[in-house]
Structure 1
Amino acid sequence: MEGFDQMSLGMQLALMNRGWRAAVDKAMEPLGLTQARWIALLHLSRLGEGTTQSSLAQHIGIELPSLMRTLDCLEKQELIRRERCDNDRRARTICFTEAGKTTMAAVQGRAQDVHRHLLAGFNDQEIEQLTSMVSRIAANAVSIIDESGDTTTSDFSRLNAEQ
């Protein structure tokens, strides 16, 4: 953390984000989950079982081929299963296995533990104020992106809305 207070606010936020993810990664190691895998599981949990692979990729904000590698690994770990979609034979839906449901509960518990640890020492009002400020920064970023016509805006807006 040497020199942290000398960094710009943007750099501090970026470093904080990397640190937060690294802390969650560390908590997920005993479950045998990489960042890509626990993120895919969390998003699947949010979207609900039976979501399509392409919907999951879009929700995460990655290309489908990248997600396919992650899903292959999760399937080999027997945490998910993929099935052909009844409505579209080209599409495949994703569901948790029983082991996957157990692992997902552990993922959520560990993520909550990290969240509590990282926000230790803050009272509810401070957390609410921090959340509000971060949301305003994100909204300001979206307004800049919207003006530029960048197609990643919808992904950024969606990610902001999820928080």
Structure 2
Amino acid sequence: MHDAPPGDLFGFRLSVLARQWRRAVERHLARAGLTDASWAPLIHLHEAGDGIAQKELAARVGTDDSSLVRLLDILEGRALIERRIDDRDRRARLIHLTPAGREEVARLRRLLAQAEADLLADVSDAEVATMLAAFDRIAARLRGTEP
């Protein structure tokens, strides 16, 4: 297996590393008092912009609608998000960050930056830039092959 071309190892190693990275970030956030997965929807909501549909947010977070509903209930209870009726489809709800939600996202970004700095301590900025460029090319290919 060690003699395999790098392309034969890439997918497996990337998926293992992604799980390890996620666990390390979650441990870092847990030390800061964030013990549930509710931080991910906040970050995705901030990235997507206010007024995202619940179904689209679930897809971005990588969870099903019912699991996301529970997280959104928690976030709404903490006054970090609000659900608003979609003017185009009155049955749908659009998710928005509240001012407190924006403050929480800023705090999360600081904590995530600290975690990333720790995890990337042995990797140069140039190496990170190279990896990000490769990720972008892979993502573009994936978008082109999706049905």
How many angstroms apart in 2 are the aligned matches of 1:97 and 1:140? 32
What SS class does the counterpart of residue 90 from structure 2 fall into?
coil
5 Å-filtered alignment, 1:109-148, equals 109-134=110-135, 138=138, 142=142, 146=145
What SS class does the counterpart of residue 94 from structure 1 fall into?
strand
C-alpha change, 1:31 and 1:97, in structure 2 (3 Å) is farther
Deviation at 1:106, TM superposition (A): 0.8
Q: Which runs of 5+ in 1 are unaligned?
A: 147-152, 155-163
Deviation at 1:11, TM superposition (A): 4.0
2:99 aligned partner, one-letter code: E
Deviation at 1:111, TM superposition (A): 1.1
> CA deviation digits over 1:87-121, x for unaligned, max 9?
22101111222221111111111111111221113
Worse-matched range after superposition: 23-32 or 84-93: 23-32
Supply the RMSD in Å over aligned alpha carbons.
Answer: 2.8
> CA deviation digits over 1:62-105, x for unaligned, max 9?
33222111111111222111121222210111122222111111
- Alignment partner, residue 36 of structure 2: 34
1:15 aligned partner, one-letter code: V
Deviation at 1:139, TM superposition (A): 5.6
- Alignment partner, residue 19 of structure 2: 18
How many angstroms apart in 1 are the aligned matches of 2:136 and 2:72? 31
How many angstroms apart in 2 are the aligned matches of 1:66 and 1:90? 19
Deviation at 1:32, TM superposition (A): 2.9
2:82 aligned partner, one-letter code: R
- Alignment partner, residue 68 of structure 1: 69
Q: Is the 1:49–1:95 contact (alpha carbons within 8 Å) kept by the matching residues of 2? A: yes
Q: Is the 1:28–1:34 contact (alpha carbons within 8 Å) kept by the matching residues of 2? A: no
How many angstroms apart in 2 are the aligned matches of 1:20 and 1:127? 15
- Alignment partner, residue 101 of structure 2: 100
Deviation at 1:134, TM superposition (A): 4.7
What SS class does the counterpart of residue 32 from structure 1 fall into?
coil
C-alpha change, 1:139 and 1:94, in structure 2 (3 Å) is closer
- Alignment partner, residue 53 of structure 2: 52
Q: Which runs of 5+ in 2 are unaligned?
A: 3-7
Q: Percent identity?
A: 33
1:32 aligned partner, one-letter code: L
- Alignment partner, residue 79 of structure 2: 78
Count of matched residue pairs? 140
